[in-house]
Amino acid sequence: AQSVTQPDIHITVSEGASLELRCNYSYGATPYLFWYVQSPGQGLQLLLKYFSGDTLVQGIKGFEAEFKRSQSSFNLRKPSVHWSDAAEYFCAVGAYGGGGGSNYKLTFGKGTLLTVNP
């Protein structure tokens, strides 16, 4: 079964500083990988996704992530953080399970809470 580890529960950065959020996954095949962001009391908004091809993917709001198969990682980066980026960030792996191969679901990490200092 697939799993996702986000080692950092809480990260604090200053506005304008660079950001890297870590994500490690476990899955037997090439995974579909996602980063979602959740503001307080809200649902999840997709930041970016990796399905195949170029291992550096660009997303919305200036975020990017790099898929490294050798490290089973999909870290999220942003060169300059804005106060509005404060939120919780979730890494997820999408994978097919049993049931004839059509059972597909997302498995999420526990999230990283980002605080941005002025």
Partner 1 sequence: DTGVSQDPRHKITKRGQNVTFRCDPISEHNRLYWYRQTLGQGPEFLTYFQNEAQLEKSRLLSDRFSAERPKGSFSTLEIQRTEQGDSAMYLCASSLGPGNIQYFGAGTRLSVL
Q: How many residues bind partner 1 (CB under 8 A)?
A: 28
Contact 73, 7 (CB under 8 A): no
Give the footprint of partner 1 on residues 19-58 (CB under 8 A).
32, 34, 36, 41-46, 49, 51
Give the footprint of partner 1 on residues 76-115 (CB under 8 A).
90, 92, 94, 96-97, 99, 102-111
- Residue 37, beta-bridge partner list: 45, 89
Q: Which residue in 1, 15, 21, 16 sits closest to 110, CA to CA?
A: 21
Query: Interface residues with partner 1 (CB under 8 A)?
Result: 4, 32, 34, 36, 41-46, 49, 51, 90, 92, 94, 96-97, 99, 102-111
